[in-house]
Structure 1
Amino acid sequence: MKGKNTQFDIEGIITRLKGSLSVQRDNELAEKIGTHPRSISQWRMKNTISMDLLVGACLQCELSIDYIVNGKRVPGQDSNIFSQIFKTLYGEKYENIFHALSVDKKVKLITTLYEQSGNEISEKLVDDLIRLVS
């Protein structure tokens, strides 16, 4: 599954990724996140970004998805869907299961949760998707 989304500020995401990873050029960013430099140019041209790649890069580089996606660092605020996803997956019920998954499976789970959840994460959806990717 190649999740794509156009509701985000793509240039802002690229800028925040570069800043968070201490790189300045697109080819340096591409190398850090494991993609081709042309992909980053295509994100700009099409105003879309691969959610799989974005979530995977944030997980692998230990970046705040909330910050990368929306540019805000607001401690304790839980308004972003990514915050809800991560609070759920890193919560007591799912933490051990989530940590045991490979990065690819984590990316698939998070991307699918994002695409199917709307504004609220249901435990049934999480349970179903964990069974699916495990």
Structure 2
Amino acid sequence: MILTDGLRSLRAAVRLWVSPARVHEEGATPDYRFSLANERTFLAWLRTGLALVGGGFAVDQFLPRLHEGLRLIFTVVLLVGGALCALRAVNHWVRCERAMRRGEDLPVTRFPSALALGVGVLAVAMVVLVLLGRTD
């Protein structure tokens, strides 16, 4: 039953992703400035996702002498991070838009912290590899 409810909830969320006009069926229209700010945040998340994807391709293409396993791990982590960022962007946009229309508090998320931690760990690992001369 819990799994069925979870799948139903996921299906409803994805429906809002591909048909955002349905969000307008809920609550009252918020001040347009808040909706536009929500859209700018969405676009910033997309830019972050694109940057991570670009970083993944850069690691793969410009660090050929990096140990193949490490290069693959870094590339995949960056590419998956970029994909998750894009998916999270649309999900967060819908959740915030719905909350504003309903007069509720904006949703809280741990994703920015997890993303920052992941990027930080990856950057430290790259610094260590550069200092050890393993990226030549």
| TM norm structure 2 | 0.28
Indicate the structure (1 or 2) with the bigger Cα radius of gyration. 2
Higher RCO (CA-CA < 8 Å; seq separation 6+): 2
| TM norm structure 1 | 0.28
